A and B are shown apart, each in its own frame.
Chain A
Amino acid sequence: MKNTTTFHHGTAVPLDRDNIDTDQIIPKQFLKSIKKSGFGPNLFDAWRYEDEGFPGQDISQRKLNKDFILNQDRFDGADILISKKNFGCGSSREHAVWSLMDFGFKVVIAESFADIFYNNCFNNGLLPISLSAEEISVMLNLAEMGKEIEIDLENQIIFSADNEIASFQIDPFRKKCILEGLDEIGLSLTHAADIKAFEEKRAVESPWIFDMRNKNEN
């Protein structure tokens, strides 16, 4: 029997594909917003709907693509996303993470992640977990069968029906950030004196980097 603390408990959607890029996660026409919220209805927009989406549209009037996995009734309420290699590749748009979270996803499990997307996840509290190809195929099956999945972040283990499915690696501090929601900027600013000292030294060694304003003559 397991004896653990649960970070998250839910069902999962299998998105059985490599290289899901951030253009697919949230198409560019929705990046015009100056907010961080409201992207959920347009998550995977081109795959989810049969028509072309644009900002400010009445979503209730749009026809859903019934074949797309996120639209199938059996995955209603699923809040874990399972995918394959290189998830989140392409554009640095943090809107991709905001849209996954706004839709309701709490965890993304994939074989691997693109670097910028991976960082963006932690900066917003979306938990990315990488597993081996074998483990991902087990996870895809569990998702397909609608099985409950439990994520114990503290001990870095994934369970289903009390059976351990996989353990995963995560940077200890990033884990703490997800669990406690730390202020990254505040934390870096505890090094303000170091930054100031570094900057003063650099300004002496390479002064041209610091006086660009004088050269702004159009």
Chain B
Amino acid sequence: MPQTLYDKLWNLHEVAQREDGTHLLYIDRHLIHEVTSPQAFEGLKLAGRKPWRISSNIATPDHNVPTTDRKKGIEGISDEVAKLQVVTLDENCKENDILQFDIHDIRQGIVHVVGPEQGLTLPGMTIVCGDSHTSTHGALATLSMGIGTSEVEHVLATQCLKTSKLKNMRVTINGELQKGVTPKDVTLAVIGKIGTAGGTGYAIEYAGTVIENMTIEGRMTVCNMAIEAGARAGLVAYDHTTETYIKNRPFAPVGDQWIMAKNQWENLKSDKEAKFDKELEIDGSLIAPQVTWGTSPEMVIDIDGLIPMPDSESIQHALDYMNLEPGKKIKDIKLDQVFIGSCTNSRIEDLREAARVLEGRKISDSIKRAIVVPGSGLVSKQAIEEGLDQVFIESGFEWRAPGCSMCLAMNPDQLGEGEHCASTSNRNFEGRQGYGGRTHLVSPATAAASAIEGHFVDVREYLA
């Protein structure tokens, strides 16, 4: 029977069916960060259990780490509560002999940037992490899902996730993207079409020429936000682009194992006749740069769009929170801050995309703060080698150290009350980037162009 990519990955990892009808799915890779793991390690200890397979685990602190003054390491974390969490991760990794890229390691960074960058994320794997944006790794033809802390403990103890099979959805995006339209705009446009619950219960496979022509970094941006459409997993088929990306990564197989792996990976695509429970087709050439106006990622419009009229309690509430008038142009929103970073858009390609727009230009005086936070120490190093840090600094951006930073603002990088921010992150929820802060999700290119003007602009005109 023809199978989808998701079906194939499922079949490769199904261990057993429990008496309750749920399945045990074998987990190849478990990624760990400081926020969702302490209670899991504690639970394990209290029950007198040990991690099942130490070498499947890899940890790095990302949510709480400061993005300034990192020379002092953990001592540089001014918030004592946050510091304890990072220290606890260190202790748990030491106690259990788990490999960690700690705060001093150049490989430290956002866990979803680090995994693929190191070749710890490999096609055909199942990958979980106590973080909903684990869907990112599906860009490399893996089955990757975010899990809760109880599930983190379960995976540590059993090397399996207890789960039920998802349904299959395929989103096919054909055509050619316009200049200035990026993977972020593609993924936001999909969410705009299906809504934040449109993918609930599904794994979404992204396909079509737009995806085929996309880099792995771009595919990661698309899969990263599958969860914002409600889908626990996003997927893209393995192809030559995947192979080229993985080859020579530090943890990627070499020699005979590389050949063996490649042979297996070739099969990681949906069969031609495979049936999907739901299909959606989008003409990529019609996608415009996207901007969210509200407090849910589905509240998104084209850059030349208007703030919508309220037709529900939810929309009215969002308009009130964002302090927006229906019918007004989204371009007229004045910006206070700009954030380029997060597991959605902090990879080298994203920084290049923003730097191309910023080169030789200054950001508007009306912008109170603009920061760029690379996704990992190695992304930062690469960017510095390419001179991108100087482009950002000369234009008026602050160049920071890697971490999740203002995507969820657990560290000191935050919005002030009532401030509007053009952000390349993934969630525009109320208060997400700071108490009373107002987030607008955009691509790195749009964020950069809007920083220059002090309000949203159509980056297509900048690149014309």
Stretch at the interface among B193-201, B268-276, B395-403: B193-201
CA distance A216 to B125 in the complex (A): 19
Instruction: Verify if A33 is at the interface (C-beta below 8 Å from B).
Output: yes
Q: Interface 1/0s, chain B 289-320, versus A by CB < 8 A?
A: 00000001010000000000000111001000
B residues in contact with A33, CB < 8 Å: 81, 85
State whether the Cβ of A32 lies closer than 8 Å to any Cβ in chain B: yes
In this assembly, does B384 line the interface, its C-beta being within 8 Å of a C-beta of chain A?
no
Closest chain A CB from B44 CB (angstroms): 9
Among B36, B153, B250, the residue within 8 A (CB) of A185 is B153
B120 interface residue, CB < 8 Å from A?
Answer: yes
User: B323 on the interface (CB 8 Å rule)?
Assistant: no
Contact residues of B between 220 and 275, Cβ < 8 Å to A: 230, 232, 250-253, 257-258, 260-261, 264
Docked Cα-Cα span, A143 to B409, in Å, equals: 35
A24-39 contacts to B, CB under 8 A, are 24, 27-29, 31-36
Say whether A208 contacts B261, CB under 8 Å: yes
| Contacts A194-B15, A195-B26, A215-B251 given; does A94 touch B106 at CB 8 Å | no
**Would you call B313 and A16 a contact (CB within 8 A)?**
yes
Contacts of B55 in A (CB 8 A): 210-213
Assuming A89-B196, A120-B148, A185-B47, is B15 touching A198 (CB within 8 A)?
yes
Give the complex CA separation of A46 and B431 in angstroms. Answer: 8
Interface residues in A175-218 by Cβ distance below 8 A to B read 176, 184-185, 187-189, 191-192, 194-195, 198-199, 202, 205-213, 215-218
Residues in A neighbouring B429, C-beta threshold 8 A: 21, 23-24, 90
A206 touches B88 (CB 8 A): no
Q: Are A91 and B132 in contact (CB under 8 A)?
A: yes
The answer to whether A195 touches B22 (Cβ under 8 A) is no
Contacting B at CB under 8 A, from A84-107, are 85-86, 89-94, 97
B146 in the interface, Cβ–Cβ < 8 Å? Answer: yes
Are the CB atoms of B107 and A218 closer together than 8 Å?
Answer: yes
Q: Which of the 9-residue segments A60-68, A70-78, A111-119, A153-161 touches chain B?
A: A111-119
Q: Are B15 and A216 in contact (CB under 8 A)?
A: no
A35, A56, A119, A212: residue with the most chain B Cβ atoms closer than 10 Å: A212
Q: Describe B's contact surface by its main secondary structure.
A: loop
B201 surroundings in chain A (CB, below 8 A): 115
Q: Once the chains bind, are B124 and A206 in contact (CB under 8 Å)?
A: yes
Nearest-neighbour CB distance to chain A for B251, whole angstroms, equals 5
- On whether the beta carbons of B150 and A123 are closer than 8 Å, the reply is yes
* B264 engages A202 (CB within 8 Å): no
Q: Which partner residue on chain A sits nearest B35 by CB separation? A: A31
Instruction: Give bound CA distance, A27 to B434, whole Å.
Output: 10
Contact size class for B? 35 or more
B residues 157-216 with Cβ under 8 Å of A? 157-160, 162, 196-197, 200-201
Q: Is the CB of A209 within 8 A of B122?
A: yes
C-beta contact mask, B20-61 vs A, less than 8 Å → 1, else 0? 111010101100000110110010000101001101001000
Q: Are B38 and A34 in contact (CB under 8 A)?
A: yes
Minimum Cβ distance to chain B for residue A177 (Å): 8
With A28-B408, A33-B81, A218-B105: A23-B430 Cβ-Cβ less than 8 Å: yes
- Which residue of A21, A35, A176, A199 is within 8 Å of B39 (Cβ)? A35
Cα distance A168–B405 in the bound complex, in angstroms: 42
B19 touches A (CB below 8 Å): yes
State whether the Cβ of A134 lies closer than 8 Å to any Cβ in chain B: no
Contact residues in A for B105 (Cβ distance below 8 Å): 218
Q: Which single residue of chain A is at the shortest CB-CB distance from B166?
A: A115
Docked-complex contact A123 and B148, CB < 8 angstroms: yes
Q: Is the CB of A94 within 8 A of B16?
A: no
Q: Cβ of A32 and Cβ of B24 under 8 Å apart?
A: no
Asked if residues B151 and A194 are in contact (CB atoms below 8 Å), the reply is: no
In angstroms, Cα B428 to Cα A24, docked, is 11
Contacts of B264 in A (CB 8 A): 205-206
Q: A188-B24, A195-B24 are in contact. Are A28 and B314 (CB under 8 A)?
A: no
Q: What residues of chain B lie closer than 8 Å to A123, measured between beta carbons?
A: 148, 150-151
Beta-carbon contact of A116 and B158 below 8 Å? no
Confirm or deny: B347 has a beta carbon within 8 angstroms of a beta carbon on chain A.
no
**A23 CA / B426 CA spacing, docked (Å):** 13
List 17 A-B residue pairs with CB atoms under 8 Å apart, sorted by A's residue number. A19-B197, A34-B38, A34-B39, A52-B435, A92-B146, A93-B36, A94-B149, A172-B20, A188-B158, A188-B160, A189-B157, A194-B15, A195-B160, A199-B53, A206-B260, A208-B258, A216-B251
